[in-house]
Structures are given as C-alpha cells and as structure tokens.
Structure 1
C-alpha cells in the first residue's frame, strides 16, 4: 500500500439516518470526491496526496449502499435526491460552509445535481466520465430500451436480485472483469447482455490486469465489499433502479443549469460516450455556462482518475487554483 493511502484517516459519520464511511487527508478548503459503480473511496487513492499537499482537505465517502457504508433496505432510498441530501448533510457534518465536488461515473450525476440544486454550498464542480445529463425529462429507461434493447446493462439491472446474485457469487472475479473490461480495438461500445445470457458473459476474465490496476488495489476493493455478503453490490444496483423515479422527482427542475464553475474530464475510449446520441455532448456541456475546461484523455477508458492519475490531478489542481485565485 502506498504511503499516501497509509496516511489517509478513516472515520464514520451519520447523515440523514445513514452511516457513511469516510476517508480523509489534508487540511484546508473542503474537496469531496464521489465515486461511482462498482467502486469505493479507494478509487481516489491517487488523488489524496496531491490534493492534500496543495492545501486542501480531501474527503472521499463510500456513498450510501457501497463498500463500508450502510445499505438501506428500501430500493427507493437511493434516489438522486437522497444522494444529494447525503452530500449536503456531509458538508455540514464536516464543519464546512461549502465544498468543491468531484464525481466520477455515478458520482458525477450526484455532483452535477448537487451543484445545480444547491449552488450556495458548492464552490465548484468537476465531473469525470459522465457529463451533466438533463435534470427531469422523460423516463430514461424507455429511451434506453429503444436505443439498446432489453439486454442493455442498466435495463438488465432493474430486476431485483438477478444482477445482485451474479456479481456477488465471486466478488473478486466480478470486480476484476468489470474494472479490466475494455474493447480490444479501443472502440467503446454499450454494455449489452445477449438474450438468455448472464451479466458477466460479455466480460471475460482478463489474461492480466491492466497496467493501472494492481493486485493490491483489487485486494482493497474486494475487502471494501466483503462486509455486505450476498448483497455486496445491491446498494449500488439500487441507484440504477431509481432512474425513472429520479426523472419524476426532478421534474420541477427540468432545464436547470449548473451555475457554478465547472470542469469536465473524460477518456476518449469511455463507454459512456457510446451511450450518447451523436452531437449530444456539446449540448450537455451547454448546461455548464461557467465551464472552465473540457479535458479529453486519449487512449483512456472509463476509470478516468485511476487510469490517468497524473493528468486528472493536474486538471483538478489547475481548476482548484483558479477557484482560489
């Protein structure tokens, strides 16, 4: 384990009735790092040291349902409004008046939405991989079915218990496959499960781990998920099971833009881009009237801050420096 990760402090805090595990390093203005699926605080291992050394208090929670944090039983306890509520409560619980939010994968929609709904608490926001998707609008699952079919992974996740059991049967194998998964030709394609197949049929066991993912890192992720047993991935999957509910709950905010300073960073081989209609990205980035930079990372897939830590850290530090003058 690197010295940077060894110096991370661990604690727990209860927000909105849910116990969250926190990893923290440094002192100064608060920066919250919000992970995605299927990850944990450890996905930010390369960011703690550089951001803390630059004078920031860096806190990465395991978000509700994930890793070492508590897992509410009800599916509808994982809406975007619950997740935004966790972030806003966490800022207060940490004794801060505001924070800079950095989100990757599912953490990005949480960061974007928090910034849109509570700009009084957010000094700046950075999204990795996932751009600022529209708030509200039509039920997204209908559109996903029309575009990619019933086998599209976000549709496949909707049946309670199915993906949960497949992924939890061998946590290490599931994480190794998902984190290593990448098209051999580097062309991102949507994750679609063939009829009659299972979730992992489309992601073979890798012959070796990618250069950015060590056995030690895989050990850390597996250990984080071990405490939930057969429900190891259920909390994270429940986020997907609220896609249509999110659109309903956020309908009053349809068309809302993100009015705080913003940064967007994404790999050019990220599968998220394969899910966007042609020409959609410029439209989505238009929701960021104070977008400082759009950083494109060549030969980079979905796991942005783990695959290209030096470039991501440089972009974040530049963004933070301009926020702080």
Structure 2
C-alpha cells in the first residue's frame, strides 16, 4: 500500500518512512476485519521491529528462516515492477488473502450449549495440555470462567486482560498481570496464567509491572500447572494452593490450574456453564485464534462423540 501511495518509497531502504503503524491500524486492519482475514494487532510493526531496512541482513538477524526470506523476496518484487504491474500484484495478493479467509471460515464449529461439568472440564484440561498456544489457551479459559462465575452470581466484578495477546510482556503492555478482576470499581485482584516455568525473571518482571500499576497491591495469584512452580519453592502439600512466596512487597500464591478450572466449572449453574461454553466456542471461531487450536477443538468433539 505504501508503494502505491508513494512510488519512491522503498521498504528495503527505510521501512518506517511510510509510517506503518498508521497505515496498518487504519485502512489495512479495517479491511482485514471486514473480510475475516487472520491478523495480529501489531501487524507490520513486528515485521521490522528494531530495523529500518527489510533486506537479507534483516532476515538473517531476525532468525525467521524461510518466512523472513520470503518477506524480503516480496519487498524486492514490489520495488522492481512498474505501477501497473504492482497494481496487478496487489490484486492477486488480495485475492490470496480472501482465499485464506474462506479457508479459516470453513474451520468454524457449530455447537449446541453444553452444561455437563465433567465434559466441559475434560475439554478445558485437554486444550491446555495439547494446544496451550504459547499461553493463550489457558489465559482465555481462565478469563472466560471468571466472566461466567461473576455473571452467574450477578457480581459487580469486571474481568479484563484475558482477551489480550500473550506475545507482549506485562511491562511492555503496562498491565499488572495477565488477568485483572476489578471489584466494585475499587479493589483489584491480579492473576498470572502460565503453562511455562514461573522463573525468577518472570517474578521480577511481574513485581515491576504490579508496582508500576498500583504500589498498594499486596497479592498476585499465579494459576499454573504443578511443573510450572519454581523448584526453589517448597510444596505446601495441598493440591489447590501448591506453593507461596513473598517477593518484596508482594505475596505470590501458586494455584493449580486444573483444580481451579474443575472447581470453577462445577460450581457454575447449568446456565453459567452454557454461557462459558458459548463464549469458548466464540473464541475458537474467532478469525485470529490459532489454527492448531481450531483443529484440535473440532477433533476433540469428534473423538468424544459431541456433535458439531
């Protein structure tokens, strides 16, 4: 698009000369959403982060392998053809994106509401174990369960953060945690949700993010698997609260994600479980949910005799 607007623009010389954030966040993202084309929020900014030139040196430094080199090839193609050829190339490119949108659309599932707590719990546990998707799967499951619990009991609690990308750190995004529960618009509970080892670096990063957000906060709840608890922490001998530690001003409580999910689902009303399941299906059908998660979800229901 930048080359069509300015024939002199060259991404191989100065990618940021086109102001990519503005171009992506306005016309490009609008079109991607309208046509149901998979995309991420950061868009082209991730393509050349910390780099001004899209060339072979960039591709090598990025360690992106074939994908990065293909980006370089596309840039070379764009910069080597006249305007009429570029317009044809752009049309072909758009047509390819529309094909991708159609393919993703065909992966959607149509499920009736579910209320069996055993069935739903097994699905959630299997999703987390088989397709954690870098942490996105457990984060959305825990967040949707919190939404369902609060809606079920008509609690004046708002839940945020669980629908955000997991690719940015809390420090970068200015979030105190993966999920935040705000109670009565005043008190807040901070949650970290992970299927990776909660390392010392993550602990320090979490502390910095929470203190920058609100220095009066005292607790952080880490919802994770048993193997994600730092080995330096002694096991409390209980299944639900696996370990605790104090890091400067903050107390960290490590909660078993499997016990948390099963308990939360069990104590929802049938309507609450239906709401949760409906929201989970909506997440699966979202254009930007990873294909591996979509495929697994569909296969799981086939294997477990649930109609699609």
| TM-score category, normalised to shorter length | under 0.3
- Structure with bigger helix share is 2
> How high is the TM-score relative to the length of structure 2?
0.25
When the two structures are superposed, what TM-score results if normalisation uses the length of structure 1? 0.24
Q: Which has the higher contact order (CA 8 A, sep 6+)?
A: 1
Which one has the largest radius of gyration?
Answer: 2
Structure ranking higher in strand proportion: 1
